[in-house]
Chains A and B, each alone.
Chain A
């Protein structure tokens, strides 16, 4: 059958025809843990690396601690909550959510590496993260961290942080915070090097986003082209757009 033959031709063009072999080539199999982060086979090697590097790590850690102390001393006056530096990766994860909750760009940027990988909806870079915080502020988003836990099975330094969220629109509609979302953060040397936001949209989408965007399209059709940058999914964050987001949010809240 022709379609089967086409699929067969495509199968032959598979760039990873042997997944087991591919994984072995990347030396991933040796790092496969049994549980609680205890690698099978590769664990000894990783442990040995750690031992061998312990002095360098200690020096780096002390230097890191000194830097953190200096940063904290320098920034503590700017903090509204007067909080101290995160004591653990779990605390750093919670602080990251807290900085998002307070739309604190400086604090968020401090926590992330310069080349951080971000996979967070339309946010993919540090610059976009900063823009997103401005948009969250304009539209009254709040993020409430519930807990951060290390995910010890597959790789080191990976933390899963649960949070709930709501925004000015959802509160105006009378809805509670939305749960089920979480970040997976790779935290190394007191900084976040990877952010994946597993954002549960199932309820918020139809109950809030669609309601608000339909309201905007009806009441302010002239503003739609300004406040969105791609269809009606990605918000624009130019100064003009943010002003409109703020204005429309206030009007939407007043109208409920």
Chain B
């Protein structure tokens, strides 16, 4: 196998789940698979000039464009609600906890959807893709300082639109929320 083929395969294997998740978070399950294929088709075409040491920010940047285009089309076809609903959820231990957690997650996601698309994207990159400010800057195409400022402002705006029950929990002296992701990521 040609070394470039091996590198492509390695990058594809190692980054596929992350890119698929990125697309699924924004498009839902059905469109996510096709969108992910589009992202890797772009990578395949651009591979000779691609920074192979830092694939994810670049892939997220491509995915951002692909997702945006798909969202436009999906909006046109008036199918977005159905598709977003198709993302699977993950069970946690107690049934009560599931109900409470799911309700809170829905509330938080709804609050997020109320922000501008730019705010939504930078918050998702930080919270869902788990990117550092430097990586966020690379994805959205701005300086690190600008990314930090945008993230800070977006976070404040999200904080303002969260329901008071969640805000109070955040502002409590002893955080009730664990610092680790409860899903074990």
Contacts and interface: CB of A to CB of B under 8 A. Distances in A.
A122 B73 CA distance: 9
A6 B181 CA distance: 13
Given A153-B12, A153-B44, A196-B38, A35 B5 contact: yes
A14 B184 CA distance: 12
Contact of A13 (B72, B109, B130): B109
Interface in B44-62: 44-45
B177 A26 contact: no
Interface in B115-160: 123-124, 126-128, 130, 152, 155-156, 158-159
A182 B47 CA distance: 14
Contacts of A22: 17, 20-21, 24, 88
A119 interface: yes
Nearest to A158: B41
A18 B177 CA distance: 19
Contacts of A122: 72
- Determine the main DSSP class of A at the interface with B: mixed
Contacts of A32: 12-13, 16
B17 A10 contact: no
B76 A125 contact: yes
Contacts of B109: 13, 15
B171 interface: yes
B98 interface: no
B80 interface: no
Contact of B44 (A9, A10, A20, A151): A151
B37 interface: yes
A174 interface: no
A12 B17 contact: no
Contacts of B128: 10-11, 14, 16
Contacts of A35: 1, 5-6, 8-9
Interface in B1-53: 1, 5-6, 8-9, 12-13, 16-18, 20-21, 24-25, 29, 33-34, 37-38, 40-42, 44-45
Contacts, number: 172
B40 A18 contact: no
B179 interface: yes
A166 B155 CA distance: 43
Contact of A160 (B1, B25, B41, B181): B41
Given A18-B185, A22-B21, A196-B66, A160 B73 contact: no
B183 A6 contact: no
A155 interface: yes
27 contacts: A2-B159, A8-B127, A8-B177, A9-B162, A10-B112, A11-B181, A12-B108, A13-B104, A13-B108, A16-B25, A16-B128, A19-B17, A19-B20, A21-B90, A23-B17, A25-B88, A26-B33, A36-B5, A117-B34, A119-B66, A121-B69, A151-B44, A154-B44, A158-B41, A194-B34, A194-B38, A196-B69
Interface of B: 1, 5-6, 8-9, 12-13, 16-18, 20-21, 24-25, 29, 33-34, 37-38, 40-42, 44-45, 66, 69-70, 72-73, 76-77, 87-90, 101, 104-106, 108-109, 112, 123-124, 126-128, 130, 152, 155-156, 158-159, 162, 166, 170-171, 175, 177, 179, 181-185
Nearest first, the 9 A-B pairs at minimum CB distance are: A19-B21, A17-B183, A124-B73, A119-B69, A10-B127, A19-B17, A13-B105, A184-B41, A13-B108
